[in-house]
Chain A
């Protein structure tokens, strides 16, 4: 990766159908959940209180689904070189990520494969796993391969449920 290049724009991804994107591994700890609660405004206690989490039938404190989704977006932005290239991103939350009260936390792995490339837009399918188990379903994104747009791009065409 060549991120220090003196270019007014970041490098554009050179992807073709079937490109396997390098696996990204991120760690989540209780401290991350607390930081995310503060930054996002989602203060649901199942994301910080074992007492409340177990009372509603969870095995323990679980990560916000939106953190797991955001780690997928972090991988997409890293692969694409610029977050503005990620114009459409959707997931289903299929399995909670349990985060223990220790200093190690849990590892979340994000894998991506480029599907069709059409008119400068790549369809990327993501696999997001924790301990070998998939935690997001139908995770997919549209990534612009050309220059980062400075004007508004296309409007929404369809919906999350497909």
Chain B
């Protein structure tokens, strides 16, 4: 099944509110082997000038991934999840994510192009607080192997 040609330019509904907890930040950091107390101890974070523990620079993927999953599992879009590979990722932060933030992501498909039997789907997900403060723009390029494509 080919992708919907109207996909480029489409904006998906905002994801459900995500409450970021100190525990979640510490767990994400620990999974990366991060022992810097800035992620684990609110006192250390505040000593460094932060209002609470900050997420590591790639933490916004947790929120953006919820929007990406909604795109990839939308039956109207035509993506087959097992054929998707993450090709590129970029984060442009307005500020760090902090424990205590309540965030949601809004994903827009920027472009869809085909190359060598693969759909390249360029997306951006804007992560913001529920009151509208922008936190991060996460760009993801997903490579979707076209079933029955040239097999490369």
Bound form: Cα–Cα A69–B86 in Å: 11
A142 shortest CB reach to chain B, Å? 9
Q: Does B91 contact A (CB under 8 A)?
A: yes
B103 close to chain A: CB less than 8 A: no
**Interface size grouping (class) on chain B:** 35 or more
**Cβ distance A124 to chain B, nearest Cβ, rounded Å:** 12
CB interface residues, A 53-83, toward B, < 8 Å: 56, 65-67, 69-71, 73-74, 76-78, 82-83
Q: Which residues of A are found within 8 Å of B28, using beta-carbon distances?
A: 39-40
- Distance, CA A6 to CA B57, complexed state (A): 25
Which of A14-22, A87-95, A112-120, A127-135 lies on the face that meets chain B?
A87-95
Give chain A interface residues in 126-160, CB to chain B under 8 Å.
138, 147-157, 159-160
Q: How far is the CB of B19 from chain A (nearest CB, A)?
A: 14
CB of B50 closer than 8 Å to a CB of A: yes
Q: Decide if B38 touches A69 in the complex (CB within 8 Å).
A: no
Choose from A39, A41, A90 the contact partner of B90 (Cβ within 8 Å): A90
Which single residue of chain B is at the shortest CB-CB distance from A80?
B57
A101 at the interface (CB under 8 A from B): no
| Contact residue among B47, B86, B94, B133 (Cβ-Cβ distance under 8 Å from A66) | B86
Residues on A with C-beta less than 8 A from B87 are: 92-93
Binding site for A on B (CB under 8 A): 24, 27-28, 30-34, 36, 38-39, 47-51, 54-58, 61-62, 65-66, 82, 85-96, 110, 122, 124, 133-134, 137, 139-141
Q: Tell me the smallest distance from the CB of A63 to a CB of chain B, in Å.
A: 11
B136 and chain A: residue at smallest CB distance? A156
Contact A156–B92 (Cβ < 8 Å): yes
**Cβ contact within 8 Å between A156 and B33:** no
Give min CB distance, A41 to chain B, whole Å: 6
Please list 17 pairs of residues, one from A and one from B, whose beta carbons are closer than 8 Å in the complex, sorted by A's number.
A9-B49, A10-B49, A27-B33, A32-B33, A36-B31, A40-B65, A41-B62, A70-B58, A74-B34, A78-B36, A82-B49, A84-B50, A86-B57, A88-B93, A90-B88, A149-B95, A150-B51
